[in-house]
């Protein structure tokens, strides 16, 4: 298999990657045949995935605009993946402004491509780190240089936590991040679930198995389980809801109920 110039050496192109599968769902080009095979299997197990991912990205953009409207100008996007059109720094700077954005991911290709895309962009940084190691994130040079934790920060965990097993203690990692956040900081979460939308628990089990075969964890949590990630935060209206229902900016397209799959919410640190 020919290795494209943007793929770092040492990456096994025959093993699917969560970030590159997500890139495929969104119509990106930074994915390999192994990613496409796994992604197609996931779509077969859980039909409508590309539309679900697009709806998820639309929620992320609305949440970033809300943060800016609330005066938040610092963003820590953990599990950021491969930047596509409408990335956090682009949305945060709509209409001007000096937002600072740090992208964090543990996928070498996502990190390499992020650095290439952001080269020369003032006020942005990229960190190769894992959500499960918050100290590595907080102690990284880009975070120390760009993020002032004495002021509000928006922490984005968009389509991330369902890839973290309970045994890896995601709540503990979140608690560590919460400790450093100033009042008025925001926590933005989107999470896979079959508690909303038309997909069944059996379909959820099938897609989890697809990811497991590719070497990744996918945990579809219940609403009550996702709600616990907001412990210590005030959940903003309209609460923990299906993605299209979080402060829609235009009429919701109800033609395909699959877009209601998953749970999203924004919490504010007191």
| Alpha carbons 198 and 166: distance in angstroms, whole number | 25
Residue 44 lies in a domain: no
pLDDT at position 12 is: 79
Sheet architecture: strand order including 154-158: 124-128, 100-105, 74-78, 154-158, 186-191, 263-269, 233-235
Residue 102 has pLDDT above 60, yes or no: yes
0.85 exceeded by pTM: yes
Residue 99 lies in a domain: yes
Residue 129 lies in a domain: yes
Residue 10 lies in a domain: no
Q: Is the dihedral of CA 53, 54, 56, 61 positive or negative?
A: positive
Residue 136 lies in a domain: yes
pLDDT confidence of 125, banded at 50, 70, 90? very high
Q: What is the CATH number of the domain that holds 247?
A: 3.40.50.150
Residue 62 lies in a domain: yes
| Phi and psi angles of residue 146, each rounded to the nearest 5 degrees, phi first | -105, -25
Residue 123 lies in a domain: yes
pLDDT confidence of 30, banded at 50, 70, 90? confident
pLDDT at position 78 is: 98
Residue 45 lies in a domain: no
SS3 for 199?
Answer: coil
| Phi and psi angles of residue 154, each rounded to the nearest 5 degrees, phi first | -95, 120
**Domain count across the chain:** 1
pLDDT at position 82 is: 84
Q: What is the dihedral of CA 219, 130, 168, 185, to 10 degrees?
A: -80
Question: What CA–CA distances, in Å, run from 130 to 103, 111, 127, 195, 244?
Answer: 11, 12, 9, 27, 28
Domain extent at residue 124: 52-197+220-269
- The string of pLDDT tens digits covering residues 168-190 is 999 999 999 999 999 999 999 99
- The string of pLDDT tens digits covering residues 182-216 is 999 999 999 999 999 999 999 999 999 999 999 99
Angle at 150 between CA 149 and CA 155, to 5 degrees: 35
| Alpha carbons 215 and 202: distance in angstroms, whole number | 20
Residue 1 has pLDDT above 60, yes or no: no
């Amino acid at each position: 298999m020919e290795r494209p110039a943007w793929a770092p050496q040492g990456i096994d192109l025959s093993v699917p990657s969560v970030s590159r599968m997500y890139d495929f769902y969104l119509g990106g080009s930074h994915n390999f045949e192994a990613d496409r095979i796994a992604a197609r299997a996931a779509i077969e197990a859980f039909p409508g995935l590309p539309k679900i991912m697009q709806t998820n990205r639309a929620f992320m953009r609305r949440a970033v605009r809300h943060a800016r409207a609330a005066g938040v100008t610092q963003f820590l996007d953990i599990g950021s993946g491969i930047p596509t059109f409408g990335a956090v720094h682009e949305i945060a700077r709509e209409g001007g402004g000096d937002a600072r954005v740090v992208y964090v991911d543990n996928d070498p290709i996502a990190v390499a491509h992020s650095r290439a895309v952001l080269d020369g962009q003032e006020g942005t940084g990229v960190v190769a780190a894992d959500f499960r190691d918050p100290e590595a994130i907080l102690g990284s040079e880009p975070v120390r240089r760009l993020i002032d934790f004495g002021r509000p920060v928006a922490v984005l965990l968009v389509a991330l936590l369902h890839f973290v097993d309970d045994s890896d203690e995601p709540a503990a990692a979140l608690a560590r991040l919460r400790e450093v956040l100033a009042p008025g900081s925001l926590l933005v979460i989107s999470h896979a679930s079959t508690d909303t939308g038309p997909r069944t628990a059996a379909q959820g089990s099938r897609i989890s198995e697809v990811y497991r075969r590719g070497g990744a964890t996918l945990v579809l949590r219940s609403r009550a389980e996702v709600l616990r990630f907001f412990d210590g935060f005030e959940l903003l209206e309209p609460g923990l809801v299906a993605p299209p229902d979080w402060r829609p900016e235009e009429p919701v397209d109800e033609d395909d109920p699959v877009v209601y799959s998953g749970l999203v919410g924004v919490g504010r640190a007191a």
